[in-house]
Every structure is written in C-alpha cells, then in structure tokens.
Amino acid sequence: MNNQMLGIIDAAVNQHSLQDLTAGRSIGAVPFAGRYRLIDFALSCMVHAGIRSVAVFSKSPYRSLMDHLGTGKEWDLNRKRDGLFFLPSSLPHEEHVGLGSFRQFAEHLDYFQRSTQQYAAVANSYTVGHIPFQEVLKQHIESGCDLTEICQDGKPLGMYVTKKSLLREMIEGHGAEGAQSFEEVCRKERDSLSVNSYEHSGYTAVIDSPESYLFHSLNLIHPVFREQIFHMGQPVYTKIKNDPPVKYAKNSRVKQSIIA
C-alpha cells in the first residue's frame, strides 16, 4: 500500500492582524528566533515525516520567501524526482481566504494530478512546533475517516491529513466557486465528511497576531520552552547565512537574550 504523503504548505494566507510584519513579505518568511523563518517549522516537520514532495503556495509579495527557500537544498528537497515546488498564485494579495484556497490550488491542478502519493498533508506556514505527520497519518488510516484535523487542547492548528484523491475532488468541485478554502469547505461539509481529530501534545506556537509573535518570541528565552522547539532529535532546517557576527565590546551588557 502506498502510504506516502504529499506536502502542501499554504504560505498565501493573508493574516490582516499581522500586516505590520507582512507588508513586504509573506507570513511564512517572517523571521523567528533570530535565524529561522516561520515556514521552516512546517517544512522541517514534513521532511522528518519522510515527505519528499512539498508544494509551497504563495502570492505576492513572495520574493523574500523564494530567496529563503531557494532550491530546497537545506531541507534535502533539491531532487530529480519530487522535491520542493514553489507555486505562486495570481490571486490578489487583498483577497482573504482561509487555509487552502481552492482557486489557488486549481491554478496548479497538474501538480496534484502528476503526483503519485496517496495521501496529502495540508499545513499553514505560521505554526511553530514539532508536528509528527507520520503519527497523524497512521491514526488517520486506522480511523478510516475522510479527514484528520490536527488539534491541541481541542483547538484546530490549521493542519490536516487526507487522501489526495479526496483533495483533488474538492479542488475540481470548488476551484471555480470564488474565494472558497479547504478549511471552510471542511467546516461546512462536516455532515457529509467523516472527520477524525488528532490531539497534539508538546509546545506549539500559532503566530497569528503581533501579541502572539512577541509572546512566543520572548518564551524562547526560557530553556524549558526553547528545548521543546530546538532539540537534536528533530532539528529545524533553515537557509544558512554565513554573515559576519555581531561584535560585542568589553563593556557590552547582554541579558536574557538569544544570540542567533
């Protein structure tokens, strides 16, 4: 049985509450913890789950995100077969839809048609944490449900696992119906879809407002939180920048800070 997953990261979600941070970049390209970008966490989780084909959907402005992702080399996704796909959208930046715009997916329907994976993991680009997509897939298959929604403390994290065939049916059925999203359709069609819930434990940060960005950034000063996000077992991969380091003079005073 082909239990491989296709990775889909929606970096085009327009969070109006984060306009000050996303005026010149997509939300996935927002810096976090000094050396990382928000998209690094979802992308690294997918790679650790053995996902070898990842599509990043984005819309303007996406230059910063493209520069960061490059060929996907840092995530071992610069491959002859599968690999990292950057799929820009023609949708206007002002158009606000939830996670997984079907109009956006429909513009690149051939990507879904050509892929050979049986399942798909759909994720946003602004959740920080270690999401075990392989465990989610295992529970999804055992449940026999149409869709598995990843939650924490009963609250959805904006991440899902489903069969790719069902996702294609949704794209083909809703792609021309205006600003409809995967998240919205799943919510509306709960009576016709069987939905399983995967309860995730462990530290997770959803960056959806300036307040949450500040709160979770300051949390990293405390080792108990930092060690849950950055540990040797599942490193967070990112683009390496060999820039000159900051110089600290003899009378410099640095307290409660993370030096990236």
Q: What is the per-residue pLDDT for 260?
A: 66
CATH homologous superfamily of 5-229 equals: Spore Coat Polysaccharide Biosynthesis Protein SpsA; Chain A (3.90.550.10)
CA distance between the termini of the chain: 43
Cα 107 from Cα 11, distance rounded (Å): 15
Residues 26 and 61 sit within 8 Å (Cβ to Cβ):
yes
Q: What is the per-residue pLDDT for 187?
A: 80
β-pair type (83-88, 53-58): parallel
Q: What is the per-residue pLDDT for 26?
A: 87
Residues paired with residue 155 on neighbouring β-strands, in sequence order: 152
Query: For residue 228, what is the DSSP state?
Result: H
Q: How much is the pTM?
A: 0.90
Any idea where the domains of the chain sit in the sequence?
A: 5-229
Amino acid at 7: G
Residues 130 and 237 sit within 8 Å (Cβ to Cβ):
no
Cα 126 from Cα 248, distance rounded (Å): 32
Residue spans of the chain under pLDDT 50? 1
Q: What is the per-residue pLDDT for 1?
A: 43
The alpha carbons of the chain give a radius of gyration, in whole angstroms, of 18
